[in-house]
Chains A and B, each alone.
Chain A
Amino acid sequence: MKVLNIVEAAYRGTLEEQDDTIVWICHAMKGANADIDVLLRGNAVNYAVKAQDASGLSFGGARQTQPPQLAADLVKLKAKGVKIFLVEDALRERGIEAGELIEGVDLVARAELAKLFGKYEQVWHW
């Protein structure tokens, strides 16, 4: 069974969780041999921006020692064989340029999403 996992909500609890929990669950499912790919839409396309840096948070004397590394997590997911799709229109609307992105992502136009969905048995929108 081939499943497309869609992430749209961005930076939701990512500092407390030290990752995006949907990217994380995709890693975990891939570890269980799931046949999955990921589509980032809306604000979640920003996860593919290389320059993200969430380091330096501290509360009182308690420092966060493992800040999220969202772009790196996507790179690792890609290395496991998961395709990472980004909605091209969402990038353009946000002024994100190609050179800012991690390598190896696939861009898909919003108007082509219907075709993309047809390639999967199920589509899970997290």
Chain B
Amino acid sequence: MDKYLLIESRDPFDSQVVARQYELAVNLVKEGNQVTLFLVQNGVLSARRGGQSELLTRAAGAGVQVLADDFSLRERGITPNRLAQGVKAASLSVVIDQLAEGRKAIWH
């Protein structure tokens, strides 16, 4: 089993490829890996409940740990009560934790 950190800086409103990254996260879990999908910058826009957030809720339901950078959320006025189910706000320091852990880290 490998551990992965997928950092998603883009949003599915902007590009179709982003939904494919969410699918990749789910497929990595299906292969028996531990996966964190860390949303940052405009990547947090899909974490607001409604819109495309169902994609993230489904990923979380499939076993992906879905986190959203708390600064990026605050910068965009996405308050905690507006987060989609399955998405948790987190400090960017999680990225450093998981890099130091040696996870395969992929920025998109």
* 9-residue interface stretch from A25-33, A45-53, A65-73, A111-119: A111-119
Q: Do B20 and A110 have beta carbons less than 8 Å apart?
A: yes
Q: Do B104 and A123 have beta carbons less than 8 Å apart?
A: yes
| Contact among B17, B24, B108 for A113, CB-based, below 8 A | B24
Q: Do B2 and A111 have beta carbons less than 8 Å apart?
A: no
CB distance from A118 to the nearest CB of B (A): 6
Query: Which B residues contact A (CB, under 8 angstroms)?
Result: 2, 4, 17, 20, 23-24, 27-28, 30-31, 33, 104-108
Query: Which A residues contact B (CB, under 8 angstroms)?
Result: 6, 8, 41-42, 110-111, 113-115, 117-118, 120-125
Label chain A's interface by main secondary structure.
mixed
In the complex, A58 Cα to B23 Cα: how many Å? 43
Q: Do B27 and A122 have beta carbons less than 8 Å apart?
A: no
Residues of B within 8 A of A6 (CB): 106
Q: Do A125 and B24 have beta carbons less than 8 Å apart?
A: no
